[in-house]
Amino acid sequence: MKIPVLFDDLEEIKRIFPKDFPVVGIGVTASRRSALGYLLPNYSILCLLETADLDSIRKLFPVVSLQKDLKVDLPEKFNTSSMLEMPEVRKFLVEKKGKGEMGLFLYKASKKTNRLAKEMKLKVLSTPGEVRSVFENKKEFRVEAEKAGINLIPGETLLVDDLDEKRWGEEQQKLGERLVFQLPDYTVGGGLSTFFINDLKDFNDFKDFVRKRRKVREIVSVNVTKFIVGKQASITGCATYYGTVTSVLQTQVMDQPELAALKGRSGVWLGHDWYLRFSEKEQLAAEEQCKKWGEYIYKKGYKGIFGMDVMMDEDGKVWPVECNARYTGAFPVYTMMQIDRGEMPIDVWHLLEWMGVEYEMDIDEVQEVYRQPKNGAHLILHNTERKFVTPTKTVKAGVYGWDGKEVVWKRRGFSFLDIINENEIVLTDKVMGEDTVLKPAERVGQLIFKRRVLDGKGRLLPEIRKIIKQIYSLFELMPVEKPEGY
């Protein structure tokens, strides 16, 4: 079956996939797994939380939440593996599967989720945890990247205990005065494992961080690399039988105090702005690196979507920084933007690979379409209060209007496709009610735009800062005592 690069009707995409192969997206919230509802003829979501956007999502396809529909006590840890361990969830999935085949869509598979799915005879539609974890580990990435022949930022992996002031000085002699330290053993996200070392204070802060965090987790290694002066970006790839196709280069929204509490953190990812363009030279150079990496990992057993963070130096050379061997934070908005443009979404190739559907693609034609500019942006809102809080007002998810002075709720919606013009914004993803307790830095929601959100220096535009402030203030967050169990 030859898959077209462009489409006129979403039903064209749904006809690609078998109707008798149900797929269940599973995760904490439904929003991040919602885009496949546009693509698959037999798709539903099982989510942990009953969030304010579910009324809109349920109009597209079925959604079952543990909190409301299954009425079970929520697990101690909010993650997919904890959900799959719950007897109620296992019973629900086994009954839904029946005697046929059924797929599970996960953003990130692990050894544990694969084992649990296998026990239920469910097919996980992503690369097994034992395969993908090698490519996502920052230490192993440097080893594998060298084998793949992609541009590796100069540096090396050291034992943390060997990195004293003398060794730091030796690394400066080799790599330059400004260095980047990354802790490959420290897998907590949000910029906590990356340190920019410009002076002795930075170095001492790094050593102090390691000393404190070693009380609760093992930290052995550190990647010490050259600081690349240039632009930071990311690119999405999809590794297939026919080769690797890529997205456009993506400007990442980083380190914005309006969106996250940043004390002691740098390199904190908070969204994308696809309106900020890169040159053709930069796009092609990034494609080359991403394709080379994708073809390498495909031979190692990895199939489908992955992300690559890159730096572009002042000479236009692209330096891969790390691989996110999973679905990335660009989704589901990226899928929705492609649908809006009539492009065959990159997810289709991922699904075809994992659902075992025979297909053909013209990879050069696909890539020519995929490198065309995209117009959209999204921002991730977090609790910035540095304390446990609860909303004291019920905030509606959906489409908000902006008249230049204030934001006003207009109608239901959850998707980029629900936005009519640039003066509308969608609030979705983990919009919680008044009975919720939010821990410090916990996600509050996601804003989706059809307009630019960053200036040329990577700072949020003044008008966008006003919009964020007003949306955030709607929750009227109030401090509360730390709940038991945290």
pLDDT in tens, 202-254: 999 999 999 988 888 888 999 999 999 988 899 999 999 999 999 999 999 99
12-26: average pLDDT: 96
The pLDDT, as a whole number, for residue 81 is 92
120 shares its domain with 176: no
pLDDT beyond 90 at 43: yes
d(CA 217, CA 191): 17
The pLDDT, as a whole number, for residue 38 is 97
417 with 338: CB under 8 angstroms? no
236 shares its domain with 360: yes
Q: Last residue of some domain: 370, 399, 434?
A: 370
Q: Last residue of some domain: 174, 202, 226?
A: 226
- In a domain, residue 161? The reply is yes
The pLDDT, as a whole number, for residue 265 is 62
The range of the structural domain enclosing residue 216 comes to 154-226
d(CA 479, CA 380): 21
105-125: average pLDDT: 94
Q: Which two tokens stand for residue 483?
A: 């709940």
Lowest mean pLDDT among 100-104, 330-334, 386-390: 386-390
- In a domain, residue 429? The reply is yes
Secondary structure of residue 35 in the 3-state scheme = helix
176 shares its domain with 295: no
- In a domain, residue 22? The reply is yes
User: Residue 430: which pLDDT band, with cuts at 50, 70 and 90?
Assistant: confident
Partner residues linked to 44 by β-bridges? 24
Residue 323: give its domain's CATH number: 3.30.470.20
289-311: average pLDDT: 97
Closest C-alpha to 291, from 279, 308, 274: 308
Residue 123: give its domain's CATH number: 3.40.50
Q: What percent of the chain has pLDDT over 90?
A: 80
The pLDDT, as a whole number, for residue 435 is 82
242 shares its domain with 327: yes
160 shares its domain with 220: yes
- In a domain, residue 234? The reply is yes
Mean pLDDT for all residues in the chain: 93
- In a domain, residue 185? The reply is yes
The pLDDT, as a whole number, for residue 267 is 74
165-175 and 200-213 helices, crossing angle to 10°:
120
123 shares its domain with 217: no
32 shares its domain with 113: yes
The pLDDT, as a whole number, for residue 208 is 92
pLDDT beyond 90 at 453: yes
262-276: average pLDDT: 83
The pLDDT, as a whole number, for residue 55 is 94
168 shares its domain with 214: yes
User: Residue 292: which pLDDT band, with cuts at 50, 70 and 90?
Assistant: very high
- In a domain, residue 147? The reply is no
- In a domain, residue 2? The reply is no
pLDDT beyond 80 at 486: no
74-95: average pLDDT: 91
270 with 193: CB under 8 angstroms? no
The pLDDT, as a whole number, for residue 485 is 63
- In a domain, residue 146? The reply is no
271 shares its domain with 365: yes
257 shares its domain with 364: yes
Residue 160: give its domain's CATH number: 3.30.1490.20
Count of domains observed in the chain: 4
pLDDT beyond 90 at 189: no
Secondary structure of residue 187 in the 3-state scheme = coil
259 shares its domain with 345: yes
The pLDDT, as a whole number, for residue 111 is 92
User: CA 202, 205, 211, 213 torsion: positive or negative?
Assistant: negative
pLDDT beyond 60 at 32: yes
158-179: average pLDDT: 94
- Cα of first residue to Cα of last residue in the chain, in angstroms, is 52
User: Residue 181: which pLDDT band, with cuts at 50, 70 and 90?
Assistant: very high
Q: Last residue of some domain: 370, 391, 420?
A: 370
45 shares its domain with 62: yes
C-alpha distances out from residue 248 to 252, 272, 290, 312, 457, Å: 12, 12, 11, 14, 20
Partner residues linked to 197 by β-bridges? 179
pLDDT beyond 50 at 190: no
